[in-house]
Amino acid sequence: MAAPVPSVRVQPTGYMLREGYRTLITFASNPAVQLWEETVKPPDMDGGEPIDITTMFNNRVETHWYRHIIKTGVATALCGYDPDVIPGLLTMVNVMDTVTLTFPDGSTWAGFGAMTKVEFPEHKRGEFPKATVSFDFGNFDTTTSLEQQPTYTPAAGT
């Protein structure tokens, strides 16, 4: 195989998000859950550690290859909350649901997953009490018992 040839970066097309407002998380089982998103961190896409394929036939550098399976990471949202939501959150944690992330341009990323954690920090005088909610795309369709990656739907006009 020949040596790699450099590529020239091309001006991207499309719509670049200019601000994070308004990014929302929706749980299909409770679309009006009493949480008010302040910040949202979308899930990562992680290919995992490369596979070392170095052998005794390498002369100068180690070589590696990339995994086939990708893991979607945990997403988080820092939210204001109504204390009345606490019993409902207990019923949502680790329960398979359809979770939708809505981006500021109206595009969505929806997948089978679950709320995995709710953390309440210390409440302090003069500070807005917030909860950190975590969710994960499980990528598993319980109806078909098959892998199902999240679905991205672009906003109209993008």
CATH value at residue 105: 2.40.30
Q: Is residue 6 part of a domain?
A: no
Residue with tokens 């709710």: 118
Q: What is the pLDDT along the chain (158 residues), one digit of tens a residue?
A: 789 999 999 999 988 999 999 999 999 999 999 999 999 999 999 999 999 999 999 999 999 999 999 999 999 999 999 999 999 999 999 999 999 999 999 999 999 999 999 999 999 999 999 999 999 999 999 999 999 999 999 998 65
Q: Is residue 106 part of a domain?
A: yes
What is the reported pLDDT for 158?
A: 55
Number of domains in the chain: 1
Those residues whose C-beta lies under 8 Å from the C-beta of residue 40, and which sit 6 or more positions away, are 20, 23, 24, 25, 75, 76, 77, 78, 101
Q: Is residue 147 part of a domain?
A: yes
Please count the CA atoms within 13 angstroms of the CA of 143 that sit on its side-chain side. 4
Range of the domain at 94: 24-54+73-153
φ/ψ (deg, to 5) at 56: -70, -10
Q: Is residue 9 part of a domain?
A: no
Nearest to residue 150, comparing CAs of 118, 117, 103, 104?
103
Q: Is residue 17 part of a domain?
A: no
